[in-house]
């Protein structure tokens, strides 16, 4: 029952009273002070409050259900509407909702509107530490892009006033792409290997060139082969890593095997 489309209650009640004149259970619309005089001994007086309309006093048979009263009065009710019975200032429920003298039947017009909207999803930023940049230097390697999320919500109105907003569904329809930033850092320290002469070793192995490549399959400052490079956590090809990264991996290798990976130049460490 929508309050905005329902005719005035007084009009509905006059029509209902005219059609029920011959019925023994007819309901009578009367002033509050005259209910007891106009109703039979078998009837009880109740107050009917429909949505935002003024309350009226009506008569009905004892122990009638509130829905029966509303139907007799020609008041439409749908599955969303709320029908409450108030007795002595308190709402009653269950079998106690059968009407008694002095009860208040209160109909709340409930309308539920389902709406959908689209929201931006924040792209965010991903920071990637790297030794390819000087410590503290930052480099954006990919710009971010926000995503899109569809939100479905139900808004509930009581007698035309909003009382509740409930989100029933959220779905990302376009994934966000985070901004990717490289952040320079120092190569990690390796206990027991930091005080050695890595510059001398690099000059001996590669002439100090981090991009040096030996046709036999050795790369970078310390002439790693790919298997050895990966065994100490390196990825890709050593010559693509910074000099600091290559030195860090060489220190890890030294911790594992000492000078043996560099049989000719290892004596310079």
From the options 1.10.260.30, 1.10.530.10, 2.30.30.240, 3.40.50.300, give the CATH code of 187-268: 1.10.530.10
Q: How far is it, in rounded angstroms, from Cα 60 to Cα 171?
A: 52
Nearest to 17 by CA among 41, 38, 37, 33: 38
pLDDT tens column, 219-254: 999 999 999 999 999 989 999 988 888 999 999 999
pLDDT per position in the chain (269 positions), as tens? 443 333 333 333 333 333 333 232 333 333 333 334 444 458 999 999 999 999 999 999 999 999 999 999 999 999 999 999 999 999 999 999 999 999 999 999 999 999 999 999 999 999 988 877 888 899 999 999 999 999 999 999 999 999 999 999 999 999 999 999 999 887 778 888 988 999 999 999 999 999 999 999 999 999 999 999 999 999 899 999 888 889 999 999 999 999 999 999 999 99
Per-residue tokens: 200: 């001398």
Q: How far is it, in rounded angstroms, from Cα 222 to Cα 195?
A: 17
CATH number of the domain located at residue range(s) 112-183 in this protein: 2.20.230.10
- Radius of gyration of the CA atoms of the chain, in A: 42
Report residue 67: phi and psi, to 5°. -65, -35
Point out which residues pair with 154 in neighbouring strands.
114, 166
Q: What angle do CA 245, 248, 254 make, to 5 degrees?
A: 145
Domain boundaries, the chain: 9-108, 112-183, 187-268
Q: How far is it, in rounded angstroms, from Cα 201 to Cα 63?
A: 102
What is the third-level CATH fold of 9-108?
Ubiquitin-like (UB roll) (3.10.20)
129-135-138-139 Cα dihedral, nearest 10 degrees: -80
pTM exceeds 0.85, yes or no: no
């Amino acid at each position: 029952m929508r309050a905005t489309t329902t005719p005035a209650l007084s009009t509905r009640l006059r029509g209902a009273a005219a059609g029920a004149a011959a019925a023994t259970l007819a309901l009578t619309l009367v002033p509050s002070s005259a209910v007891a005089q106009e109703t039979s001994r078998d009837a009880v007086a109740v107050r009917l409050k429909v949505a935002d309309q003024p309350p009226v006093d009506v008569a009905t048979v004892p122990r009638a259900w509130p829905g029966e009263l509303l139907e007799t009065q020609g008041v439409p009710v749908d599955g969303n509407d709320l029908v409450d019975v108030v007795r002595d200032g308190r709402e009653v429920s269950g079998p106690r909702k059968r009407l008694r003298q002095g009860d208040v039947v209160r109909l709340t017009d409930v309308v539920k509107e389902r709406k959908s909207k689209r929201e931006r999803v924040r792209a965010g930023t991903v920071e990637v530490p790297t030794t390819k940049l000087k410590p503290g230097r930052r480099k954006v390697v990919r710009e971010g892009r926000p995503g899109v999320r569809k939100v479905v919500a139900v808004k509930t109105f009581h007698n035309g006033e909003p009382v509740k907003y409930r989100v029933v569904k959220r779905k990302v329809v376009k994934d966000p792409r985070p901004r990717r930033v490289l952040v320079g850092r120092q190569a990690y320290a390796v206990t027991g290997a930091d005080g050695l002469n890595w510059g001398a070793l690099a000059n001996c192995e590669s002439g100090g060139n981090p991009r040096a490549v030996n046709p036999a399959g050795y790369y970078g400052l310390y002439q790693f082969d790919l298997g050895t490079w990966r065994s100490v956590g390196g990825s890709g090809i050593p010559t693509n890593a910074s000099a600091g990264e290559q030195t860090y991996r060489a220190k890890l290798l030294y911790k594992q095997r000492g000078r043996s990976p560099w049989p000719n130049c290892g004596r310079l460490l």
